[in-house]
């Protein structure tokens, strides 16, 4: 009972935060969620909980798909293409981890995503605000 209530609270809290989050914060939350799902998948493999492992890897791949769809190639097409390819590589690693029940590919994905998340977290506030305004005012949004 307690676990179900906590899960419902977390979901409601996340939905509320997303509804007011700026585009930069949404991506930041996706990175946080990805790292959490990867850690959970790794723990599930170590506990031999393969149903939970499959769910967590599936959710991690879904987040990576979301990150891919959020890429904006307009200002730097080469960087966008490289990031897209990197995300594809991460999905390949997660498929390998899921099939082989090996945590090493998950560790590799974590090691690849952490510096990206850390760089994202360090974007100066004035740049975030300027970019968020451009995104919110674009016809695609």
CA dihedral (30, 127, 79, 86) in degrees, to 10, reads: -20
Percent of the chain having pLDDT more than 70? Answer: 81
HSE at residue 23, side-chain half, CA atoms within 13 A, is 19
Distance of alpha carbon 130 from alpha carbon 83, whole angstroms: 22
Question: b/e string for 43-76 if b means 16 or more Cβ within 10 A?
Answer: ebbeeeeeeebeebbebbbebbeebbeeebeeee
* Per-residue pLDDT, 18: 47
pLDDT confidence tier of residue 23, bands split at 50, 70 and 90: confident
pLDDT exceeds 50 at position 98 = yes
DSSP 123: S
Q: Which domains are present in the chain? A: 25-122 (1.20.120.340)
Q: What is the pLDDT of residues 36-59, one digit of tens each?
A: 999 999 999 999 999 999 999 999
pLDDT confidence tier of residue 61, bands split at 50, 70 and 90: very high
- Mean residue pLDDT across the chain: 87
């Amino acid at each position: 009972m307690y676990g179900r209530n906590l899960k419902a609270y977390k979901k409601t809290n996340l939905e509320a935060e997303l509804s007011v989050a700026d585009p930069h914060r949404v991506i930041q939350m996706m990175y946080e969620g990805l790292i959490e799902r990867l850690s959970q998948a790794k723990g599930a493999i170590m506990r031999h909980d393969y149903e939970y492992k499959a769910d967590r890897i599936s959710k991690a791949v879904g987040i990576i798909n979301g990150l891919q769809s959020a890429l904006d190639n307009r200002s730097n097409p080469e960087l966008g293409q490289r990031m897209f390819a990197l995300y594809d590589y991460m999905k390949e690693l997660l498929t390998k981890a899921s099939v082989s029940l090996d945590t090493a590919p998950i560790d590799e994905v974590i090691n690849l995503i952490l510096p990206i998340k850390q760089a994202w977290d360090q974007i100066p506030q004035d740049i975030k605000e300027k970019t968020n305004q451009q995104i919110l005012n674009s016809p695609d949004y």
